[in-house]
Amino acid sequence: MLIARTREDLQAAGATGSVLVPTMGALHAGHGALMRLAREHAGPAGRVSVSIFVNPTQFNEAADFDRYPRTLEADCRVCEHAGVDVVFAPSPGVMYPAGEDVPVGTLPAVATAPGLEDAFRPGHFAGVCQVVRRLFALVRPGAAVFGEKDWQQLQVIRAMTEGEGLGVRIVPAPTIREPDGLAMSSRNTLLDGPSRARAPVISRALSEAGRTPDPGAAERAMARILADGGLTPEYAVVRDGATLGAWVPGRQGRALIAARLGGVRLIDNAPWPGPDRADAHGGSPMGPLP
Protein backbone atom coordinates (compact mmCIF):
# COMPACT_ATOMS: atom_id res chain seq x y z
CA MET A 1 0.00 0.00 0.00
CA LEU A 2 1.32 3.43 -0.96
CA ILE A 3 0.68 6.62 0.98
CA ALA A 4 0.34 9.63 -1.29
CA ARG A 5 0.57 13.19 -0.01
CA THR A 6 0.59 15.15 -3.26
CA ARG A 7 -0.80 15.06 -6.82
CA GLU A 8 2.61 13.81 -8.02
CA ASP A 9 2.54 10.98 -5.45
CA LEU A 10 -0.93 10.03 -6.67
CA GLN A 11 0.20 9.84 -10.26
CA ALA A 12 3.25 7.78 -9.33
CA ALA A 13 1.01 5.45 -7.28
CA GLY A 14 -1.31 4.83 -10.25
CA ALA A 15 -4.45 6.15 -8.56
CA THR A 16 -5.95 7.35 -11.87
CA GLY A 17 -9.00 5.23 -12.76
CA SER A 18 -9.13 3.68 -9.30
CA VAL A 19 -12.27 3.22 -7.20
CA LEU A 20 -12.03 5.96 -4.59
CA VAL A 21 -13.45 5.88 -1.07
CA PRO A 22 -13.43 9.52 0.14
CA THR A 23 -13.28 9.74 3.96
CA MET A 24 -12.41 12.10 6.77
CA GLY A 25 -10.58 9.31 8.59
CA ALA A 26 -11.41 7.90 12.05
CA LEU A 27 -12.13 4.75 10.08
CA HIS A 28 -14.51 2.14 11.52
CA ALA A 29 -16.19 -1.06 10.35
CA GLY A 30 -18.61 0.97 8.22
CA HIS A 31 -15.66 2.29 6.20
CA GLY A 32 -14.35 -1.28 5.95
CA ALA A 33 -17.59 -2.16 4.14
CA LEU A 34 -17.11 0.80 1.76
CA MET A 35 -13.61 -0.45 0.99
CA ARG A 36 -14.84 -3.99 0.33
CA LEU A 37 -17.50 -2.62 -2.03
CA ALA A 38 -14.81 -0.54 -3.74
CA ARG A 39 -12.74 -3.70 -4.21
CA GLU A 40 -15.75 -5.51 -5.74
CA HIS A 41 -16.19 -2.67 -8.21
CA ALA A 42 -12.47 -2.40 -8.98
CA GLY A 43 -12.04 -6.14 -9.52
CA PRO A 44 -8.95 -8.06 -8.39
CA ALA A 45 -6.71 -6.30 -10.93
CA GLY A 46 -8.11 -2.80 -10.39
CA ARG A 47 -6.95 -0.28 -7.81
CA VAL A 48 -8.72 0.97 -4.70
CA SER A 49 -7.79 4.32 -3.19
CA VAL A 50 -8.93 5.88 0.07
CA SER A 51 -8.64 9.59 0.77
CA ILE A 52 -8.29 10.80 4.35
CA PHE A 53 -8.80 14.52 4.82
CA VAL A 54 -10.73 16.36 7.52
CA ASN A 55 -12.16 19.06 5.29
CA PRO A 56 -12.39 22.40 7.11
CA THR A 57 -14.74 23.98 4.56
CA GLN A 58 -17.65 21.64 5.34
CA PHE A 59 -17.76 22.25 9.11
CA ASN A 60 -20.20 24.85 10.41
CA GLU A 61 -18.60 25.16 13.83
CA ALA A 62 -14.88 25.54 14.47
CA ALA A 63 -15.25 23.50 17.69
CA ASP A 64 -16.77 20.59 15.74
CA PHE A 65 -13.82 20.69 13.30
CA ASP A 66 -11.31 20.85 16.16
CA ARG A 67 -12.70 17.89 18.04
CA TYR A 68 -13.24 15.70 14.95
CA PRO A 69 -11.22 12.52 15.67
CA ARG A 70 -7.88 12.31 13.82
CA THR A 71 -6.29 8.87 13.82
CA LEU A 72 -4.14 8.67 10.68
CA GLU A 73 -1.79 5.89 11.81
CA ALA A 74 -4.63 3.60 12.87
CA ASP A 75 -6.53 4.53 9.69
CA CYS A 76 -3.60 3.45 7.53
CA ARG A 77 -3.54 0.09 9.32
CA VAL A 78 -7.27 -0.36 8.61
CA CYS A 79 -6.68 0.45 4.93
CA GLU A 80 -3.71 -1.91 4.69
CA HIS A 81 -5.76 -4.69 6.26
CA ALA A 82 -8.61 -4.02 3.80
CA GLY A 83 -6.27 -4.43 0.82
CA VAL A 84 -6.34 -0.77 -0.24
CA ASP A 85 -3.72 0.13 -2.85
CA VAL A 86 -3.33 3.86 -2.26
CA VAL A 87 -4.08 6.10 0.73
CA PHE A 88 -4.26 9.77 -0.20
CA ALA A 89 -3.64 11.84 2.94
CA PRO A 90 -3.07 15.39 1.70
CA SER A 91 -2.20 18.44 3.78
CA PRO A 92 -4.61 21.41 3.72
CA GLY A 93 -2.06 23.17 1.49
CA VAL A 94 -2.30 20.43 -1.15
CA MET A 95 -6.11 20.54 -1.13
CA TYR A 96 -6.43 24.31 -0.95
CA PRO A 97 -3.17 25.84 -2.21
CA ALA A 98 -2.61 29.42 -1.12
CA GLY A 99 -3.58 31.83 -3.85
CA GLU A 100 -5.42 29.18 -5.90
CA ASP A 101 -9.19 29.32 -6.20
CA VAL A 102 -10.73 25.88 -5.57
CA PRO A 103 -14.24 26.26 -7.00
CA VAL A 104 -17.39 25.08 -5.27
CA GLY A 105 -19.34 24.90 -8.56
CA THR A 106 -23.08 25.41 -8.88
CA LEU A 107 -24.88 23.57 -6.11
CA PRO A 108 -27.64 21.24 -7.31
CA ALA A 109 -31.17 21.88 -6.01
CA VAL A 110 -30.98 18.88 -3.68
CA ALA A 111 -28.16 20.72 -1.85
CA THR A 112 -30.19 23.86 -1.18
CA ALA A 113 -33.95 23.22 -1.43
CA PRO A 114 -34.99 20.43 0.99
CA GLY A 115 -34.57 22.40 4.24
CA LEU A 116 -32.79 19.46 5.91
CA GLU A 117 -28.98 19.30 6.25
CA ASP A 118 -28.84 22.35 3.98
CA ALA A 119 -30.87 24.38 6.49
CA PHE A 120 -29.31 23.04 9.69
CA ARG A 121 -25.75 23.13 8.40
CA PRO A 122 -25.57 26.22 6.16
CA GLY A 123 -22.58 26.06 3.84
CA HIS A 124 -21.97 22.38 4.56
CA PHE A 125 -22.78 21.12 1.06
CA ALA A 126 -20.79 23.92 -0.56
CA GLY A 127 -17.79 22.57 1.37
CA VAL A 128 -18.60 18.95 0.50
CA CYS A 129 -19.00 19.73 -3.21
CA GLN A 130 -15.79 21.76 -3.16
CA VAL A 131 -13.71 19.02 -1.55
CA VAL A 132 -15.20 16.19 -3.61
CA ARG A 133 -14.62 18.05 -6.89
CA ARG A 134 -11.05 18.70 -5.75
CA LEU A 135 -10.52 15.05 -4.77
CA PHE A 136 -11.91 13.91 -8.12
CA ALA A 137 -9.58 16.35 -9.93
CA LEU A 138 -6.50 15.17 -7.99
CA VAL A 139 -7.17 11.40 -7.80
CA ARG A 140 -9.07 11.13 -11.13
CA PRO A 141 -10.98 8.01 -10.06
CA GLY A 142 -13.19 5.95 -12.37
CA ALA A 143 -15.75 5.45 -9.58
CA ALA A 144 -16.28 6.64 -6.02
CA VAL A 145 -18.13 5.00 -3.13
CA PHE A 146 -20.34 7.05 -0.77
CA GLY A 147 -22.28 5.69 2.20
CA GLU A 148 -26.08 5.82 2.28
CA LYS A 149 -25.86 6.95 5.89
CA ASP A 150 -25.25 10.49 4.60
CA TRP A 151 -28.29 10.18 2.32
CA GLN A 152 -28.62 13.83 1.36
CA GLN A 153 -24.87 14.03 0.70
CA LEU A 154 -25.16 11.00 -1.59
CA GLN A 155 -27.96 12.66 -3.59
CA VAL A 156 -26.00 15.94 -3.74
CA ILE A 157 -22.88 14.20 -5.05
CA ARG A 158 -24.88 12.18 -7.57
CA ALA A 159 -26.56 15.34 -8.85
CA MET A 160 -23.30 17.31 -8.95
CA THR A 161 -21.39 14.54 -10.73
CA GLU A 162 -24.12 14.06 -13.34
CA GLY A 163 -24.86 17.78 -13.70
CA GLU A 164 -21.23 18.71 -14.25
CA GLY A 165 -20.39 15.61 -16.29
CA LEU A 166 -17.47 14.78 -13.99
CA GLY A 167 -17.25 11.27 -15.45
CA VAL A 168 -17.04 9.46 -12.11
CA ARG A 169 -19.45 6.60 -11.41
CA ILE A 170 -21.07 7.07 -7.98
CA VAL A 171 -21.49 3.81 -6.07
CA PRO A 172 -23.88 3.91 -3.06
CA ALA A 173 -22.99 1.74 -0.06
CA PRO A 174 -25.63 0.49 2.43
CA THR A 175 -25.40 1.73 6.03
CA ILE A 176 -23.61 -0.58 8.44
CA ARG A 177 -25.17 -0.77 11.91
CA GLU A 178 -24.07 -1.79 15.37
CA PRO A 179 -25.91 -4.86 16.74
CA ASP A 180 -28.33 -2.53 18.58
CA GLY A 181 -29.21 -0.68 15.35
CA LEU A 182 -27.08 2.47 15.75
CA ALA A 183 -25.68 3.48 12.36
CA MET A 184 -21.88 3.39 12.43
CA SER A 185 -20.33 6.85 12.41
CA SER A 186 -17.03 8.40 13.44
CA ARG A 187 -19.07 10.73 15.66
CA ASN A 188 -20.30 7.80 17.78
CA THR A 189 -16.95 7.87 19.60
CA LEU A 190 -17.95 11.31 20.94
CA LEU A 191 -21.00 9.89 22.78
CA ASP A 192 -20.63 9.35 26.52
CA GLY A 193 -21.95 6.12 28.10
CA PRO A 194 -25.55 7.22 28.82
CA SER A 195 -25.88 8.91 25.42
CA ARG A 196 -24.51 5.85 23.62
CA ALA A 197 -27.10 3.72 25.43
CA ARG A 198 -29.91 6.00 24.19
CA ALA A 199 -28.66 6.44 20.61
CA PRO A 200 -30.41 3.34 19.10
CA VAL A 201 -33.69 5.21 19.62
CA ILE A 202 -32.98 6.80 16.22
CA SER A 203 -33.05 3.51 14.31
CA ARG A 204 -36.12 2.44 16.31
CA ALA A 205 -37.89 5.63 15.22
CA LEU A 206 -36.98 4.91 11.59
CA SER A 207 -38.28 1.33 11.84
CA GLU A 208 -41.55 2.58 13.31
CA ALA A 209 -41.87 5.12 10.51
CA GLY A 210 -41.32 2.34 8.00
CA ARG A 211 -44.29 0.45 9.43
CA THR A 212 -46.53 3.55 9.30
CA PRO A 213 -48.18 3.92 5.89
CA ASP A 214 -49.21 7.58 6.19
CA PRO A 215 -46.23 9.99 5.88
CA GLY A 216 -47.66 12.53 8.35
CA ALA A 217 -48.32 9.80 10.91
CA ALA A 218 -44.84 8.40 10.28
CA GLU A 219 -43.29 11.81 11.00
CA ARG A 220 -45.32 12.19 14.19
CA ALA A 221 -44.29 8.69 15.31
CA MET A 222 -40.61 9.52 14.81
CA ALA A 223 -40.89 12.83 16.71
CA ARG A 224 -42.63 11.10 19.64
CA ILE A 225 -40.14 8.21 19.86
CA LEU A 226 -37.16 10.57 19.71
CA ALA A 227 -38.59 12.88 22.38
CA ASP A 228 -39.52 9.93 24.64
CA GLY A 229 -35.94 8.68 24.26
CA GLY A 230 -34.53 12.03 25.38
CA LEU A 231 -33.25 13.13 21.97
CA THR A 232 -33.78 16.56 20.48
CA PRO A 233 -34.75 16.19 16.84
CA GLU A 234 -33.75 18.80 14.27
CA TYR A 235 -35.90 17.05 11.71
CA ALA A 236 -37.69 13.71 11.42
CA VAL A 237 -39.34 13.60 8.01
CA VAL A 238 -40.53 11.46 5.12
CA ARG A 239 -39.38 12.79 1.74
CA ASP A 240 -38.86 11.79 -1.88
CA GLY A 241 -35.76 9.59 -1.83
CA ALA A 242 -34.00 11.32 -4.74
CA THR A 243 -35.04 14.99 -4.69
CA LEU A 244 -35.69 15.13 -0.91
CA GLY A 245 -38.72 17.27 -1.77
CA ALA A 246 -42.24 16.35 -0.65
CA TRP A 247 -43.05 12.67 -1.07
CA VAL A 248 -45.79 11.87 -3.60
CA PRO A 249 -47.53 8.49 -3.94
CA GLY A 250 -45.81 6.13 -6.35
CA ARG A 251 -42.34 7.55 -5.64
CA GLN A 252 -39.72 5.88 -3.47
CA GLY A 253 -39.68 7.59 -0.09
CA ARG A 254 -36.99 8.01 2.53
CA ALA A 255 -37.38 8.64 6.25
CA LEU A 256 -34.63 10.96 7.51
CA ILE A 257 -33.64 12.02 11.01
CA ALA A 258 -31.14 14.47 12.49
CA ALA A 259 -31.11 14.66 16.28
CA ARG A 260 -28.91 15.95 19.05
CA LEU A 261 -27.91 13.73 21.91
CA GLY A 262 -25.55 14.75 24.71
CA GLY A 263 -24.01 17.51 22.59
CA VAL A 264 -23.48 15.23 19.56
CA ARG A 265 -25.42 15.59 16.32
CA LEU A 266 -26.44 12.26 14.77
CA ILE A 267 -28.10 11.58 11.41
CA ASP A 268 -29.69 8.44 9.99
CA ASN A 269 -32.23 7.40 7.37
CA ALA A 270 -34.07 4.39 6.00
CA PRO A 271 -36.21 3.45 3.02
CA TRP A 272 -39.83 4.46 3.44
CA PRO A 273 -42.05 2.50 3.52
CA GLY A 274 -39.87 -0.05 5.29
CA PRO A 275 -39.26 -3.63 4.14
CA ASP A 276 -42.37 -5.04 5.84
CA ARG A 277 -44.56 -2.42 4.11
CA ALA A 278 -43.24 -3.14 0.61
CA ASP A 279 -46.79 -3.27 -0.75
CA ALA A 280 -47.92 0.00 0.88
CA HIS A 281 -47.37 2.35 -2.05
CA GLY A 282 -46.25 0.00 -4.80
CA GLY A 283 -42.65 -0.85 -5.62
CA SER A 284 -40.00 -2.39 -3.48
CA PRO A 285 -38.64 -0.15 -0.72
CA MET A 286 -35.20 -1.71 -1.09
CA GLY A 287 -35.09 -1.32 -4.87
CA PRO A 288 -33.19 1.36 -6.78
CA LEU A 289 -34.47 4.92 -6.57
CA PRO A 290 -36.37 6.23 -9.59
Question: Of the listed pieces 18-26, 102-110, 223-231, 273-281, which binds ligand PAF according to CB under 6 A?
Answer: 18-26
Contact 234, 259 (CB under 8 A): yes
CA distance 2 to 49: 9
- What's the rounded Cα separation, in Å, for the pair 28 and 258? 21
Query: How many Å apart are CA 233 and CA 225, to the nearest integer?
Result: 10
Q: Could you tell me the smallest distance in angstroms from the CB atom of residue 281 to ligand PAF?
A: 30
Catalytic residue among 31, 41, 124, 281: 31
In terms of CB distance, is 31 or 196 closer to ligand PAF?
31
Residues numbered 156 to 195 that lie near ligand PAF (CB under 6 A) are none
Instruction: Verify whether residue 31 is a known catalytic residue.
Output: yes
Interacting span for ligand PAF (CB under 6 A) from 17-25, 33-41, 64-72, 239-247: 17-25
**Cβ closer to ligand PAF: 69 or 229?**
69
Query: Which residues 20-39 are close enough to bind ligand PAF by CB under 6 A?
Result: 22-24
What's phi and psi for 252, nearest 5 deg? -75, 125
Q: How far is the CB of 17 from ligand PAF (least distance, A)?
A: 20
Least distance from ligand PAF to the Cβ atom of residue 186, Å: 8
Query: How many angstroms separate the CA atoms of 191 and 264, rounded?
Result: 7
Q: What is the DSSP letter of 199?
A: T
Sequence-distant (6+) residues with CB within 8 A of 48 are 18, 19, 21, 35, 38, 39, 42, 83, 84, 85, 86
* Given 128, 176, 258, 259, the residue binding ligand PAF (CB under 6 A): 128
Q: Annotate 250-286 with b (16+ C-beta within 10 A) or e (fewer).
A: ebbbbbbbbbebbebbbbbbbbbbbeebeebbebebe
- Whichever of 19 and 226 has its CB closer to ligand PAF, that residue is 19
Q: Given candidates 75, 118, 150, 240, which one binds ligand PAF under the rule CB under 6 A?
A: 150
Catalytic site residues?
A: 31
Binding footprint of ligand PAF on the chain (CB under 6 A):
22-24, 55, 58, 128, 131-132, 150, 153
